[in-house]
């Protein structure tokens, strides 16, 4: 989509004229990007997306006439286009943002606050880099505008069993681009009486982890919390790693948060989580790698596999970006490659000692 010599065509959707001009300025300052149209609400976004066929849409979430959630749904049904959400980060915007991610938007960024704001340069760089990366993501048309009901555990349990030495005592999951929606699908299909703790590292813009936790807690039968230093691991509880710290576990079965340097550019790091879980749980560890860009987690899954644990990876067909799962598959450490709707069933089989 963004081949040599071709500028990436971007549609900017933002109801505030000041914020819209700022976003257009940031994108226009990069020689590889070209803003081809601007919209001030979701209805205009749908119309202009059909007219201009942009490579990427940068869209606010809270707008008059039609918000970013409804616009995302309509665009994904009719003309699937990579959508980068920009959110101001207050409660209503965050809720809509995660629903829009579930509807097909690819990723979520904090809305740039202006050249005088602290961290503006980093925000501007993040926006331009993200738009370039998302331009090459291949999408499929969404068939329905209604939220799909979560799979019941029995429906997600058709994956053939994995042979284990012992039943899994913990599940560690990592994801990045496309991850929030994938996590909602997987967690929504687990039974309320899940007998093991679930730990999650999700790469997301700092400041949005709390919103992710609150949203997952609403769409899952399990209790979903932000991990805190020293918290005990409890069966049936999902703990999500907070922004900018590594998530791990102690030999006493408690959460260990670390401000150690990033691992291969990531903090929190999936490799850190998988390695920590492998050291504590050994052959009772289950590692799950879902959709995401890059290769974070592959090294850690190698450690987990060597310790005797089981490794599950999302397949290419159901991944928004088949980067992280592919890296693990290429490394040769994956026991099962599964479509997303079978992942919960495979996890259930893991803690049942291999029985579906």
Clarify whether residues 336 and 266 are in a common domain.
Answer: yes
**Six token digits for residue 175:** 């994801």
**Could you confirm whether 176 is annotated as catalytic?**
yes
The reply to whether 150 falls in a domain is no
Active-site annotation holder among 203, 209, 266, 272:
203
Most confident of 96-100, 137-141, 204-208: 96-100
List, as one string, the DSSP characters of 96-154. HHHHHHHHT--EEEEPP--TTSTTHHHHHHHHHHHHHHHTT--------SSPPPPPPTT
Clarify whether residues 41 and 122 are in a common domain.
Answer: yes
Q: How confident is the model at residue 165 (pLDDT cuts 50, 70, 90)?
A: low
Share of residues in the chain with pLDDT > 70 (%): 90
Using one digit for the tens of pLDDT, what is the confidence trace for 230-266?
999 999 999 999 989 999 999 999 999 999 999 999 9
**CATH number assigned to the domain comprising residue 51:** 3.40.50.2300
- Contact of 195 with 212, CB cutoff 8 Å: no
Using one digit for the tens of pLDDT, what is the confidence trace for 60-99?
999 999 999 999 999 999 999 999 999 887 666 888 899 9
Clarify whether residues 117 and 263 are in a common domain.
Answer: no
Clarify whether residues 177 and 36 are in a common domain.
Answer: no
Clarify whether residues 98 and 181 are in a common domain.
Answer: no
The reply to whether 149 falls in a domain is no
Is the per-residue pLDDT at 147 higher than 50?
no
* Residue from 202, 197, 199 nearest 268 by CA: 202
Is the per-residue pLDDT at 108 higher than 50?
yes
Clarify whether residues 94 and 199 are in a common domain.
Answer: no
**Six token digits for residue 3:** 């081949």
**Could you confirm whether 144 is annotated as catalytic?**
no
Q: Is the pTM higher than 0.85?
A: yes
Active-site annotation holder among 87, 97, 176, 220:
176
- Distance CA(230)–CA(249), nearest Å, equals 9
The reply to whether 182 falls in a domain is yes
Clarify whether residues 112 and 251 are in a common domain.
Answer: no
**Six token digits for residue 259:** 């401000």
**Could you confirm whether 126 is annotated as catalytic?**
no
The reply to whether 356 falls in a domain is no
Active-site annotation holder among 30, 60, 67, 296:
296
Structural domain of 91: 8-134
The reply to whether 155 falls in a domain is no
Clarify whether residues 232 and 292 are in a common domain.
Answer: yes
Clarify whether residues 236 and 284 are in a common domain.
Answer: yes
Clarify whether residues 304 and 204 are in a common domain.
Answer: yes
**Six token digits for residue 149:** 């009901």
The reply to whether 87 falls in a domain is yes
Helix (H, G, I), strand (E, B) or coil at 210: helix
The reply to whether 71 falls in a domain is yes
| Owner of token pair 């069933």 | 345
The reply to whether 93 falls in a domain is yes
- Distance CA(60)–CA(321), nearest Å, equals 22
Clarify whether residues 339 and 263 are in a common domain.
Answer: yes
Clarify whether residues 123 and 212 are in a common domain.
Answer: no
Is the per-residue pLDDT at 300 higher than 70?
yes
Other CB atoms closer than 10 Å to residue 82's CB: what's the count?
A: 26
Pick the last residue of a domain from 134, 154, 187.
134
**CATH number assigned to the domain comprising residue 193:** 3.40.50.180
The total domain count for the chain is: 2
């Amino acid at each position: 989509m963004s081949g040599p010599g071709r500028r990436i065509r971007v549609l900017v959707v933002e109801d505030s004229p000041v914020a819209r001009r700022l976003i257009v300025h940031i994108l226009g300052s990069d020689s590889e990007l070209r803003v081809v149209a601007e919209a001030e609400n979701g209805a205009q976004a749908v119309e202009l997306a059909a007219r201009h066929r942009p490579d990427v849409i940068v869209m606010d979430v809270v707008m008059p006439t039609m918000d970013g959630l409804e616009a995302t749904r309509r665009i994904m049904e009719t003309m699937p286009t990579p959508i980068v959400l920009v959110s101001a980060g207050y409660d209503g915007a965050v809720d809509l943002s995660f629903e829009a991610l579930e509807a097909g938007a690819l990723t979520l960024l904090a809305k740039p606050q202006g050249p005088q704001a602290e961290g503006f340069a980093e925000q501007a760089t993040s926006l331009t880099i993200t738009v370039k990366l998302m331009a090459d993501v291949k999408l499929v048309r969404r068939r329905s505008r209604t939220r799909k009901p979560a799979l019941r555990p029995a429906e997600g349990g058709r994956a053939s069993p994995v042979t284990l030495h012992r039943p899994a005592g913990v599940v560690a999951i990592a994801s990045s681009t496309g991850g929030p929606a994938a996590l909602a699908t997987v967690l929504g299909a687990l039974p309320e009486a899940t007998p093991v703790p679930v730990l999650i590292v999700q790469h997301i813009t700092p400041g949005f982890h709390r919103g992710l936790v609150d949203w997952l807690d609403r769409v899952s039968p399990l209790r979903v919390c932000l991990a805190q230093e020293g918290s005990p691991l409890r069966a049936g509880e999902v703990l999500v790693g907070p922004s900018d710290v590594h998530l791990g576990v102690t030999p006493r079965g408690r959460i260990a948060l670390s401000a150690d340097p990033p691992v291969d550019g990531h903090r929190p790091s999936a490799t850190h989580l998988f390695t920590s879980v492998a050291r504590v749980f050994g052959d009772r560890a289950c590692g799950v790698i879902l959709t995401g860009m890059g290769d974070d987690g592959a090294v850690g899954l190698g450690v987990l596999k060597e310790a005797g644990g089981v490794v599950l990876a999302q397949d290419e067909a159901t991944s928004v970006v088949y980067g992280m799962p592919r890296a693990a598959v290429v490394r040769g450490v994956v026991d099962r490659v599964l479509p997303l709707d079978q992942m919960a069933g495979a996890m259930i089989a893991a803690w049942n000692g291999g029985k579906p």
